[in-house]
Amino acid sequence: MVIYVGSLAGLLPGGPGHSHQSVRDISALSAVPRLIMVEPCAESETKQIVDFCINRTDENSYIRLVSLGWPLPFQLPPDYRLTLGRGVVVREGGDAVVFGYGPWLLANAWEAAERVAREHGRQLRLVNLPWLNRVDADWLRATIGAARRVITLDNHYVHGGQGEMLAARIAELGLAVPVTRLGVTELPECGTNDEVLKHHGLDADGLARQFAAICPPLRSADSI
């Protein structure tokens, strides 16, 4: 059993440039047999992931780490127990389900969901799914529930990211819910962290605009 650890995952930090922006590792490693890929969103989850990889699986694993600190506007539930293929809801909502992973991506998504609720009356359920190439079918079906849309977020190219895996599994389960995948769609830009996130539409403002477009504001008929 081998445990690999990769840092400098994703778009940030943006200053060092393309050689330090790893946005294709999920797709590159997803074809490796018996390799579990996982990315934590918080220190407490990192501890659980390390324990899982050492003591709770006989498969190889790849722990994907963001290399800078980021303030989280939410806390993982105190009884959260890491389970293969399952995540945890960090913000409740019934209009759409947003899946993501990692600290800054989930933090920006949480801020964006709060803004969409205030300005457009739409409540988005935000789910932390640390598993990048595993998902439990029963958990996925229950988590989507009656939501009318699914949005996936990737700190990675959209092609080959976690969102692609989720969309495929949703189709296999026959769930009649549209899926929109958001993430990196072009060569990463170099600049300050704020500049890079803004350029790729993955800052809180950019995500709020995209969430609002995917889940339009309530019409009068919707509220009857």
**pLDDT tens string 173-219:** 999 999 999 999 999 999 999 999 999 999 999 999 999 999 876 65
Instruction: Provide the token pair at 96.
Output: 């759409």
Domain annotation covers residue 130: yes
Domain extent for 202: 3-217
The C-alpha atoms of residue 97 and residue 4 are separated, in whole angstroms, by: 30
Domain annotation covers residue 124: yes
In this prediction the pTM is: 0.94
- Number of folded domains in the chain? 1
The C-alpha atoms of residue 27 and residue 128 are separated, in whole angstroms, by: 20
Burial class of 69 by CB neighbour count within 10 A (0 to 12, 13 to 18, 19+) = exposed
**pLDDT tens string 113-131:** 999 999 999 999 999 999 9
CATH number at residue 146: 3.40.50.920
Domain annotation covers residue 71: yes
- The pLDDT, as a whole number, for residue 223 is 43
Contact criterion met (CB below 8 Å) for 214 and 96? yes
Q: Where are the beta strands (DSSP E) in the chain?
A: 3-6, 35-38, 60-64, 88-91, 96-100, 124-128, 150-157, 179-184
